[in-house]
Structure 1
Amino acid sequence: MPAAVDVRDSDSDVAEIVGVVELVDSADEDDVAEVNSPNSPPLSFHGYRRGRKLGQGGSSQVFVCSKAGCQVGFAVKAVNLRRLRMSPDVERELKKLEREVDILKDLPVHPNIVRLVDTFQEGYWFLMVLELIGGGDLFTVLTSRSPTRFQDREAAYVGNQLVLGLAFLHGKGVVHRDLKLENVMVASQRRAYANGPVLYNVKITDFGLSRFLDPSMAAACSTVGTQPYCAPEVLGEGSHSFGADLWCLGVLLFVLIAGHFPYSDLPTDQLELNRIVQRSTATEA
C-alpha cells in the first residue's frame, strides 16, 4: 500500500524543480488524453486530484492539483523514479533530488521562497506538492515585454524581495547556487498607480543545486550554476560561498534593467570565459 512521506522525516529523492508556467484554467483534448496516459502519475493521491499539465523536464512533470475542502490550488511535481534511475548521470540526479527535499522541508515559511506542502510516494512516482505560483517565471515575464527590460522601480521592487529571500536562506545556512531569472517565480502583480510601473511579487524556487553551508566552511567547492550568472570564484576555483549568490543577484538585476547580460559580447567557450573573468578579476585587484 502506498505510504505517505512526512516532509519533516523524508529522505526521498526529488529531481530538479520544473518551473511552473502560467496557469491556464481550461483543458483541451490533449490534456484529457494526458490524464489517462499510463505514463502519467496517479490521477488521485492522498486526498489530492491531479489536473492540467503545466510543464515537464527530464524525469519530472508538473501538474495543477486540488484538494477537497481547500480553497487554493497546488502544483504537484511528479518524479518518475524508474526513469530517473535509467539516467546515465543517476547518482548526480538522485543527489539533486535528495538535496532539494531536505532543504525545502527544513525551511520555515517565507513570502519570497516557494513552499513545500507535502511529499508522497506512489509506486515508482515521487510526488511533491508545492504552493501553486501561477504567474510564470521572471525570464518569461521579461521576454514578453516590449522593450525587453524593466523600469528601475520595477527592478528595485523585485530586487528588494530577492535580497530578503537570500538573507533568509543564508541565515538558515543555505546557499542557493543557481539564482537566475528562470528560478524566480511571479506570484502576483499590480500597478503602483494607473499606467505606472508593474510591481511583481516573486518567490525563489529550484533548490536542486542548493546546499547547506556549515558555518565553519568558507565555501562549497564545486562548479555548479548557470554560466552567465556565475561569480568569478565559481568559474575559476569552483568555490561557491554566500557571496556568489549575491553576484548572481547582481547579474539578474542587470539583465532586468539592461535587457541583456553584462558579458553578452564574451565568447561562449567555458575555458576561454574562465580565463577572461580571471584576468579581469586579477586586474581589478
Structure 2
Amino acid sequence: MVESSKQKKQFETYKKVQTLGTGSFGTAYLVECQSNNDKAVIKQIDIQAMSEDERKETLREAKILEVLNHPNIVRFREVYKTKKGKLCIVMDFADGGDLQGRIKEKHKKRQTTGTLEHFPEDLVLSWFTQICLALKHCHDRKILHRDLKSQNIFLTKRNIVKLGDFGIARVLSNTKSIAKTVVGTPYYLSPEIIESSPYSFKSDVWSLGVLLYEMCALQPPFNAQSLHQLAQRIVAGRFDKLPKQYSNNLNQLVSSLLVKEPARRPSINQILKLPFIKSRINQFLDDQDFKDEFSHTLLHNHDVFKAFQRKLEEDKVKKEREEQEKKQLEEKQRQQEMQNQILANVRRQQEEEEARKKMEQLYINQYRAPDAYYKEYKDQDFFNYQYMNYVNQLNQDMLQDDNYDPPYQLPLEKGSHASQSSANEDREDEEASKDQVQDVPIQEAINLYTCDFTQFVEHMSQQYGEQQFNEGFAIISRYKELIYSEEGEEQLVKKLKHLFASEELIRGFLNFCTSFIIVQNYSQNI
C-alpha cells in the first residue's frame, strides 16, 4: 500500500483531432485520449499574454470545475502547463454541440421549408430540468454561474445536458451573500445587474428564464438593435407570450422567472419542486446521485466551501505578511509624498496664475454663452463654471492652432458695419456647418466595448463637432437616470434640440452616448 502511494501519477497523452474554436487568449481543441480512444476537449490558454485579473479568472474556472462533480456539468479531467507556459484545461467532450447551435439549425431549416419548427414541449422540459439540476449543484455550493446562455449549454447525442464555461463564476461565502460586479451576456442580463444593484442567486434564475423562453420561442425575450434599447426593454420587463403550442404551465413558469423584483423569483430548489419538473428528475439522476443532491445538501455545502474558505485564509495571511514587510518602506514614502504634494500645490498655483493672465490678455471675460443655454440649467453657477472651463480649454487649443471655432460672442452696437458683416458671416458659416453635418452619415465606426473615454471623445467630436459633443454629453450625464425609459429618452431629445439641426441627428447622438455610458458601467465594475 505504501509503495503504491509513492508511485508516480500516470499522465494521459492526447492526440489533436481538430480545432473547435479560437478566442482572445487561446484555442479549444478536440483531442483523443491515447489510453482509451475517448474524445475530450482541451482549452489551451496563453496566460502570459493576460493581465493579472485575467489569469485569476482562468485559474478560477479550473478550480471551480475541479470541485464540481455532476452528471449535467462538464466533467473536469485535469489541468497542466505546456513547456511554452500555456495553461491547458482538459474536459469531457459533448458530441451533440451546444444549444445555440440547435436553435440556429431550426432557423436554417426555415429558409428551405418556409416554416419555423419549434422544439417539442417534452424536449424543452427535459433540457430545462437538467439545466436546473446542474444549477442546483452550483448554488448548493455557493457558486453563481453568472453567464448562463445557450452557448454554454452543451448537449450529447442522447440529449444529455452539460453545463459549462465557468470563467466568470463567483463563489460566495453563504447563501445570503450578494455580488456587485457587472458581468454576463447582454441578452441574459438581469434588471438588477443593468441598474448596478447588488445581486445574488436570483440573477442566475433570471438568466434561466431567458434561456427557457429562448428554447421555446427560438429567440430571446428581449431584443433590440442597440445596447441602450436592450437595457430599456429588460428593465421594463415586457415580453411576448410563448408560441401557442406550449402549455399554460410553461407560460406561467417563464413569467415567474422573468419577474423584475429578485425576491419574487423562485429559487432553483423551488423550481425543482414544481410537479411537472419534479416528475422528470429521476430520468437524469440515479439513486446515488439523487441521494447526494437532495439528502445531504447542508453537509456538502459546508465541505465544498471549506476548500475555498481555506484558500481565502491563506491569501489573508500572505497579504498581512506583505503589508508587514512594506511597513517601513511606506513610512519613508509618506514623507516623500508630503514633499511632493507641497511642490505640486506650488506648481498648480503658478499654472493658475499664468492661465488667469492669459485670459485677461485675450479678453476671455467678454465671452458669454447664449441666454437660451442658461434656461436649460437650473444651477447657473454650475453652468458658468463648466462653460468657463470649456472656454479656457478652447483658449489653450487656440495657442496651438489658429483654425479654431470661437465661443459665442455678444454682437457690437447696432449700426456698425463691421458687426453686421461679421454677424452675416457667422450665420452663413453656421448654416454651412449645419448642412455639412447633415451630409455626413453618422456610423458606429468605433467599438464601444474596447475604446476608452479619450477615443470616444475624439470619435464623437469628429462626427458631431467638439462643442456639440461637450454640451450634449454634459446634458446626458446630468440626466442619465432618464436613459432607461422611453419617456425619459423623449425628454432628453427635447433637451438636446438646440444643439442639432434634425431629430435624426439627436437620436443618433443620444444612442451613441447612452450606449457608451452603459458599456462603461460594465468595465468600471468588472
Distance in 2, matches of 1:208 and 1:240, equals: 18
Deviations 1:58-77 (A, max 9, x none): 11111122233224221111
> Which deviates more, 139-148 or 46-55?
46-55
Are 1:54 and 2:15 counterparts? no
Distance in 1, matches of 2:175 and 2:132, equals: 23
Are 1:119 and 2:119 counterparts? no
Change (3 A) 1:276 1:54: closer
User: 1:34 maps to which residue?
Assistant: none
Q: How far has the Cα of 1:120 moved from its partner? A: 0.8
Amino acid at match of 1:158: W
Change (3 A) 1:71 1:235: same
User: 2:147 maps to which residue?
Assistant: 178
Alignment of 1:15-34 (within 5 A): none
The answer (yes or no) to whether the contact 1:138–1:185 under 8 Å persists in 2 is: yes
Alignment of 1:131-142 (within 5 A): 131-142=92-103
User: 1:151 maps to which residue?
Assistant: 120
The answer (yes or no) to whether the contact 1:219–1:239 under 8 Å persists in 2 is: yes
User: 2:250 maps to which residue?
Assistant: none
Are 1:251 and 2:210 counterparts? yes
Deviations 1:77-121 (A, max 9, x none): 111223x33xxxx234223202111211122x2111001100111
Change (3 A) 1:278 1:63: closer
Normalized against structure 1, the TM-score is what?
Answer: 0.71
Distance in 2, matches of 1:121 and 1:254, equals: 40
Distance in 1, matches of 2:194 and 2:166, equals: 20
Distance in 2, matches of 1:92 and 1:218, equals: 22
Change (3 A) 1:269 1:55: closer
Distance in 1, matches of 2:214 and 2:234, equals: 18
Unaligned runs of 5+ in 2: 1-10, 110-115, 238-259, 265-526
Amino acid at match of 1:188: K
The answer (yes or no) to whether the contact 1:174–1:211 under 8 Å persists in 2 is: yes
Amino acid at match of 2:52: E
Q: How far has the Cα of 1:275 moved from its partner? A: 4.8
Deviations 1:179-224 (A, max 9, x none): 00000001223xxxxxxxxxx2111110011011111653111111
The answer (yes or no) to whether the contact 2:142–2:175 under 8 Å persists in 1 is: no
Distance in 2, matches of 1:178 and 1:100, equals: 12
Higher relative contact order at CA 8 Å, sep ≥6: structure 1 or structure 2?
Answer: 1
User: 1:225 maps to which residue?
Assistant: 184
Q: How far has the Cα of 1:49 moved from its partner? A: 2.7
Change (3 A) 1:70 1:219: same
Q: How far has the Cα of 1:234 moved from its partner? A: 1.3
Distance in 2, matches of 1:151 and 1:279, equals: 29
Distance in 1, matches of 2:61 and 2:197, equals: 20
Deviations 1:256-284 (A, max 9, x none): 111222122x45234x54455445548xx
Q: How far has the Cα of 1:253 moved from its partner? A: 0.9
Are 1:269 and 2:227 counterparts? yes
User: 1:207 aligns to what SS in structure 2?
Assistant: coil
Change (3 A) 1:117 1:269: same
Q: Which has the larger radius of gyration?
A: 2
Change (3 A) 1:78 1:238: farther
Distance in 1, matches of 2:236 and 2:92, equals: 44
Match for 1:73 among 2, 24, 39? 39
The answer (yes or no) to whether the contact 2:155–2:162 under 8 Å persists in 1 is: yes
User: 2:195 aligns to what SS in structure 1?
Assistant: helix
User: 1:144 aligns to what SS in structure 2?
Assistant: helix
User: 1:240 maps to which residue?
Assistant: 199
Distance in 1, matches of 2:53 and 2:14, equals: 30
User: 1:237 aligns to what SS in structure 2?
Assistant: coil
Distance in 2, matches of 1:63 and 1:240, equals: 35
Q: RMSD value over aligned CA atoms?
A: 2.2
The answer (yes or no) to whether the contact 1:251–1:261 under 8 Å persists in 2 is: yes
The structure in which a higher percent of residues are helix is 2
Alignment of 1:201-212 (within 5 A): 201-212=160-171
Distance in 1, matches of 2:151 and 2:124, equals: 15
Distance in 2, matches of 1:149 and 1:233, equals: 31
Distance in 1, matches of 2:101 and 2:134, equals: 21
The answer (yes or no) to whether the contact 2:222–2:233 under 8 Å persists in 1 is: no
Change (3 A) 1:132 1:277: closer
User: 2:95 aligns to what SS in structure 1?
Assistant: coil
The answer (yes or no) to whether the contact 1:149–1:255 under 8 Å persists in 2 is: no
> Which deviates more, 140-149 or 159-168?
140-149
Misfit runs of 4+, over 3 Å: 272-282
The answer (yes or no) to whether the contact 1:53–1:64 under 8 Å persists in 2 is: yes
Amino acid at match of 2:70: H
Amino acid at match of 2:198: S
Normalized against structure 2, the TM-score is what?
Answer: 0.40
Unaligned runs of 5+ in 1: 1-44, 190-199
> Which deviates more, 57-66 or 245-254?
57-66
Change (3 A) 1:277 1:133: closer
Match for 1:169 among 122, 127, 138? 138
